[in-house]
Amino acid sequence: MTEVPLLQVDDLHVTFDTEDGLVRAVDGVSFTVERGKTLGIVGESGSGKSVTSLTIMGLTRGPATQISGSAVLEGTDLVSASNEHLREVRSNDVAMVFQDPLSSLHPFYQVGSQLVEAIQTHQHVSRAQAFDRAGELLELVGIPDARRRLLSYPHEFSGGMRQRAMIAMALANDPKVLIADEPTTALDVTVQAQILELIARLQAELGMGVVIITHDLGVVAETADEIAVMYAGRIVEEARTDTLFDAPEHPYTWGLLESIPKLTGPREEELIPIPGRPPSLINRPSGCSFHPRCPYVREAHKRVDPQLEPVPGDAGHRTACLLVPEVRRELWSKLKAGAEPEKARAEVPLRDEEDLERRDADGLSQDAGLDAPRR
């Protein structure tokens, strides 16, 4: 791990100036993507996961957008890079696959010519050569009869084939990082698995760093090496995938896990939705952003802003929760055993009140975190 990571995002803030006020879409996000590894970013809509990835490619730039922090790709900061430089980076170094392949492909151009365009933007090759390469790409992503299919229009493809074509387009210039933003959300369940398999296979073959952004933990369970859970523009928990599923630390992650249907286990076991709605990013809740929806909230949580801190005894696992670790572990073991949140809460004494009061008084919470101080 002494190697410099492929992509290092550090303290990224993205703020949109809208008529309703300042939207803090991304509020201090840091993560790394290693070569040949997959990072899953999970969160509800509006948690800032898509904005994070679009910002890495410079696609959120605009007069009403303020961006700070850094996203260093092999020594170059993409946040401060010029527009010209970013155009070189796009598709060449960082490529992206979007959620809805039908609306993401131009309806008026043949799939082949859209691929050729991506190739010719960055490689000085003839149209015929680019066309050959486009055919190879379609073959690579498993579209049968690829050369003939180059002449088809997007509306003549099935949903799965469109997403394959999008992936082919993303691979056109051998990117170092592939960002897949909800790559399977618009697809049938059977096709979803194929697309995820395809991404995993291509990553193994091409050695890219992959970021998969999703609202569905199930999507990243098989494919990601590490998972970052985002809530209200921040990462609230990050861990290796197996750790996140076995020993999650944040009540929001618990909620996400409890709301996934399980095939094993008794049928009558109910899915437990997370109550409430994602918070407004304009008027963020005070203290812990998750406190209005958290079943284990204490008074102090409404005042103290939790920082992403390492989980004791578990390297690489970090969470931003004000509950003390022992309490979190007890709560999770109750939930895992099938208890409902209220029951778990009643059974486990939340003995962190005094601890929090002390930290609050000491002002420790301000600088206890690993994150840089907030603006």
Contact residues for other proteins, defined by CB under 8 A: 54, 57, 59, 83, 87-92, 95-96, 98, 100, 103-110, 117-118, 121-122, 153, 155, 166, 169, 172
Distance CA(167)–CA(208), nearest Å, equals 13
Q: How far is the CB of 32 from other proteins (least distance, A)?
A: 22
- Give dist(CA 266, CA 59) in Å, integer: 46
Q: Angle formed by the axes of helices 159-170 and 111-122, to 10°?
A: 10
Smaller CB distance to other proteins: residue 172 or 274? 172
Nearer to other proteins, 85 or 303 (CB): 85
CB of 294 to other proteins, least distance (A): 34
Nearest by Cα to 215 from 179, 261, 182: 182
Continuous segment of H or E residues that includes residue 140 = helix 127-140
DSSP calls for 237-259 = EEEEHHHHHHS--SHHHHHHHHT
Nearer residue to other proteins within complex by CB, 118 or 198: 118
- Closest distance of CB 349 from other proteins, Å: 50
The alpha carbon of 96 is separated from its chain's Cα centroid by a whole number of angstroms, namely 13
Write down the least CB distance from residue 58 to other proteins, Å: 9
Cα separation values, 227 from 38, 148, 167, 168, 281, Å: 9, 39, 22, 25, 23
Q: Which amino acid is at 294?
A: C
Given the complex with other proteins, which of 91 and 243 has the nearer CB atom? 91
Q: Which of 279, 197, 192 is nearest to 231 (CA)?
A: 279
Report the nearest approach of other proteins to the CB of residue 316 (Å). 31
Q: Which is nearer to other proteins, 160 or 175 (CB)?
A: 175
Closest CA to 135 of 151, 123, 113, 150: 150
By C-beta, is 166 or 321 nearer to other proteins? 166
Smallest distance from other proteins to CB 5, Å:
22
